A and B are shown apart, each in its own frame.
Chain A
Amino acid sequence: MEDCLAKKMEIAVSEAEKRTGRNAMNMQETYTAYLIETRAVEPQSEGQCAPVDSLWRRYSEFELLRNYLSVTYPHIVVPPLPEKRADFVWHKLSADNMDPDFVERRRIGLENFLLRVASHPVLCQDKIFYSFLTQEGGWKEMVNETGFQLKADSRLKALNATFRVKNPDKRFTELKHYSDELQSVISHLLRVRARVADRLYGVYKVHGNYGRVFSEWSAIEKEMGDGLQSAGHHMDVYAASIDDILEEEEHYADQLKEYLFYAEALRAVCRKHELMQYDLEMAAQDLTSKKQQCEELATGTVRTFSLKGMTSKLFGQETPEQREAKIKVLEEQIQEGEEQLKSKNLEGRDFVKSAWADIERFKEQKNHDLKEALINYAVMQISMCKKGIQVWTNAKECFSKM
């Protein structure tokens, strides 16, 4: 495995801070800034620990970085950012971007993003990325100087355009289909999970009412009083326990969300292939038609209908000199076209090769990560069940003393 940045450098997004400033339209705005801390892993001389470097970045700068990476490395499945706005929320969760819980989860998500990029064999070597981590001032300008914005606009258009590719690599077609389905199923899962969380919250919280009524009831009882009172306390504990349980589950939801957004990145790579392939096919088609035209002009036979041919028939044929000129132009174009086609072909094949390599890497990562996520989810459920058994066993004991 190539030595990636993550091995040489510790990276962390350690803090989040509310800031106020003026935006591009000179209006006051509130935003959150995140502290990125980095430290070289190799021990410095004299056995001391390397110093920690840090700088502040806001979400929009992360977005800029990712856009740059997506455009510059279209054959790579670029790691996604945590969601821009809180989505798939259930009632207890705030949809407010400034909500501390949301900010905290975002902090973790941003750190995860940086670590993903830093451990990617190709992306970690990017200088813009390195500067993002280490250079506070002038980074934005540096990014813009790469001129990636131009590519970005056309890329965006292309990603959304509809066109028909005649001969795509079947693997990419299948993969695009897979990424669409994956997005759909994970979205569905996250939506239902949020509703499940909402309902579960309700079940637990209503039990808290037992606490109060048992306490009130115990006041009029003699022998039963103590048992009721202490059982009521356990009902309160039960009701309160759901908050931590669901908070932990949000982490699982975040893991799913990452792969929801990863599916988008995967789709983008497939589209890029389709784009290139389409481009190639168009170029080939163009070349063929030019060759044909040339041939027709040279032999004088009109095999295909053309408006020019018709008009020339109606209004008189061209002069031999004119024809010669045309043929020459066409021959030049054909020459150019063939060279372009050759390079496009090469580009296409290179793209397919390197993209597929990254896709294989991504698949392995995805399978590993999602398995881990499912295991963690099961562990969370087990913990919740054990807590439930504990509380009800305690309550049962109190009831037995009634």
Chain B
Amino acid sequence: AAGAPKPLPSSGPKSLREMPHPLATSSSEEMGPALTPSPDLLLPRSIADKDLSLPNGTPVDTSSPASSSSLLNRLQLDDDLDGETRDLFVTVDDPKKHVCTMETYITYRVTTKTTRAEFDLPEYSVRRRYQDFDWLRNKLEESQPTHLIPPLPEKFVVKGVVDRFSEEFVETRRKALDKFLKRITDHPVLSFNEHFNVFLTAKDLNAYKKQGMALLSKMGESVKYVTGGYKLRSRPLEFAAIGEYLDTFSLKLGTIDRIAQRIIKEQLEYLVELREYGPVYSTWGGLEVELSEPLEGVSACIGNCCTALEELSEDMTEDFLPVLREYILYSESMKNVLKKRDQVQAEYEAKLEAVALKKEDRPKVPTDVEKCQDRVECFNADLKADMERWQNNKRQDFRQLLMGMADKNIQYYEKCLTAWESIIPLLQDKPETK
């Protein structure tokens, strides 16, 4: 069990307030010297050391809650962010088309309601387009490389095949963008990210985008983990397991996507035939006298079933498939994070080995290697925490998605059932009773 943490210097969720930060000696902005860390928390040893810096030498701001990422992650794992403890609400809605000389594009309204101190105002409403979301995601990946960043709907659509401005496409995209922001909002570390804040609040995001490249960000923006040279001998078991899980998971999702697409295709072909089938009864009804009404009734009934089927296929296309694809993209980006983790570990192990071979420094391990070790442990902690959170959310998302699929099919059959049941009295009607 962790030692009682002291409150963080932020207006974070109340529940966290009750738990003082283990590394804070006071409620001041700066972190005090490190306390003895609890054995089960993989605390980076020198997190309170102001010399902690990222590989490229940029100092890390430890005053922001985002830097104590692993701790926050762990502490908030069981936190049920329901309406009471939630202090940040974000919604994406109201798509609008903009026609300019150079291009035509869609913007979405992003509304924020919050009580967090990081925000100057309690409410914000800004307009953002897809490339702004894309920019945000890239910034998050850069600045929070140890975390799993939610996916965006696909950037490119094949022109001519998909109408980028159709209601259905825009609505599907809106839902995905909304989900994207909500996932970030729910994340205890990502939701405090500076870029996220700006995205939600800035009137002129483009100005900030340009500015961001020039300024030296305290978050260490241009962090690019070293990619060259280091090869990991073996992935630790738990991360290997995650990797294998993600491989199989995305494979299975891919299969489900193909099956769902095939079903929709078959349904649409069935619909084509039904559309020819119904009217033939009507034609026949025109030939008959006594059977005229019953035959017309059957024709109308089939027509109703056609409408119901059309609705089912549309729903599956607009609601079911996009979520599947989102999770496949999610898996891909998660696998990349796993690879980055491997590289961090590889670098550490290589440096450690180099030191061991040199035998220069005696018992004291050089700070360079120490920093690597901290980075590894930090990464591992963040990743594990995020994985647990992801697994939980995934379970809920799929539960909802699949229940939704079942629901849509039930509704389809209920519509058809109503149609057929309603014509039974018509069919049984005897001429004398008329």
A-side interface residues toward B, CB under 8 Å?
178, 181-182, 185-186, 188-189, 192-193, 195-196, 198-200, 202-203, 206-207, 209-210, 213, 216-217, 220, 223-224, 227, 231, 367, 370-371, 374-375, 377-379, 381-382, 385-386, 388-389, 392-393, 395-396, 399-400, 402
Contact = CB atoms under 8 A, between A and B. Distances in A.
A178 B291 CA distance: 14
Contacts of B267: 203
Nearest to B284: A185
A315 B283 CA distance: 66
The interface residues of chain B, by DSSP majority, are classed as helix
B51 interface: no
A241 to B, nearest CB: 12
Interface in B380-434: 395, 398-399, 402-403, 406-407, 409-410, 412-414, 416-417, 420-421, 423-424, 427-428
A192 B280 contact: yes
A399 B410 CA distance: 14
Interface in B256-314: 256, 259, 262-263, 266-267, 269-270, 272-274, 276-277, 280-281, 283-284, 287-288, 290-291, 294-295, 298, 301
A214 B284 CA distance: 45
Contacts of A378: 298, 301, 420, 423-424, 427
A374 B284 contact: no
B44 to A, nearest CB: 30
Given A213-B252, A367-B288, 11 more contacts: A178-B287, A189-B280, A189-B281, A213-B255, A371-B291, A378-B424, A385-B416, A385-B417, A386-B417, A392-B406, A396-B406
B249 interface: yes
Nearest to A213: B255
Interface of A is mostly: helix
Nearest to A197: B273
B85 interface: no
Contacts of B398: 224, 402
A185 B282 CA distance: 10
Given A374-B295, A395-B406, A202 B416 contact: no
A371 B270 CA distance: 26
26 contacts: A178-B287, A185-B283, A188-B283, A189-B284, A192-B277, A199-B270, A207-B263, A210-B259, A213-B256, A213-B259, A217-B249, A217-B256, A224-B399, A370-B291, A371-B294, A371-B428, A374-B427, A375-B427, A378-B298, A378-B424, A379-B424, A385-B414, A388-B410, A392-B413, A396-B407, A396-B410
Given A193-B277, A374-B427, A389-B414, A220 B287 contact: no
A199 B420 CA distance: 20
Contacts of B416: 381, 385
A192 B279 CA distance: 11
A396 B403 contact: yes
A402 B393 CA distance: 12
A14 B339 CA distance: 72
A199 B399 contact: no
A220 B248 contact: yes
Nearest to B427: A375
A71 to B, nearest CB: 29
A360 to B, nearest CB: 13
Residue from the set B256, B406, B423, B427 with the largest chain A CB neighbour count within 10 Å:
B406
Contacts, number: 135
B245 interface: yes
B406 A393 contact: yes
A396 to B, nearest CB: 4
Contacts of B409: 388, 392
Nearest to A186: B284
Nearest to B422: A378
Contacts of B301: 378, 381
B399 A399 contact: yes
Interface of B: 245, 248-249, 252, 255-256, 259, 262-263, 266-267, 269-270, 272-274, 276-277, 280-281, 283-284, 287-288, 290-291, 294-295, 298, 301, 395, 398-399, 402-403, 406-407, 409-410, 412-414, 416-417, 420-421, 423-424, 427-428
Contacts of B407: 396
A195 B266 CA distance: 12
A314 B414 CA distance: 92
B406 A399 contact: yes
Contacts of B270: 196, 199-200, 202-203
Contacts of A375: 424, 427-428
| Residue with the highest number of chain A CB atoms closer than 10 Å, among B259, B267, B272, B283 | B259
A389 B276 contact: no
Contacts of A186: 284
Contacts of A388: 409-410, 412-413
A374 B288 CA distance: 14
Contacts of B262: 206, 209
Top 6 A-B pairs, shortest CB-CB distance: A396-B406, A199-B270, A385-B417, A388-B413, A399-B402, A217-B252
B272 to A, nearest CB: 8
Contact of B420 (A181, A385, A392): A385
A381 B420 contact: yes
Given A192-B277, A389-B413, A402 B402 contact: yes
Contacts of B280: 185, 188-189, 192
A213 B253 CA distance: 9
Contacts of A396: 403, 406-407, 410
A371 B427 contact: yes
B415 to A, nearest CB: 9
Given A185-B283, A389-B413, A402-B398, A374 B294 contact: yes
Given A203-B267, A224-B398, A382-B420, A393 B410 contact: yes
Contacts of A382: 417, 420-421, 424
A302 to B, nearest CB: 53
Given A396-B406, A399-B403, A367 B290 contact: yes
A202 B266 contact: yes
Contacts of B252: 213, 216-217, 220
A344 to B, nearest CB: 33
Contacts of B423: 378
B258 to A, nearest CB: 9
Contact of A224 (B256, B281, B395): B395
A223 B96 CA distance: 41
Contact of B287 (A185, A196, A206): A185
B287 A202 contact: no
Contacts of B272: 199
B395 A231 contact: no
A224 B327 CA distance: 16
A223 B276 CA distance: 46
Contacts of A178: 287
B358 to A, nearest CB: 44
A169 to B, nearest CB: 19
Given A381-B420, A386-B417, A206 B266 contact: yes
Given A186-B284, A385-B413, A231 B263 contact: no
Contacts of B427: 371, 374-375, 378
Contacts of A220: 245, 248-249, 252
Contacts of A227: 399
A393 B410 CA distance: 7
A348 to B, nearest CB: 27
A280 B252 CA distance: 79
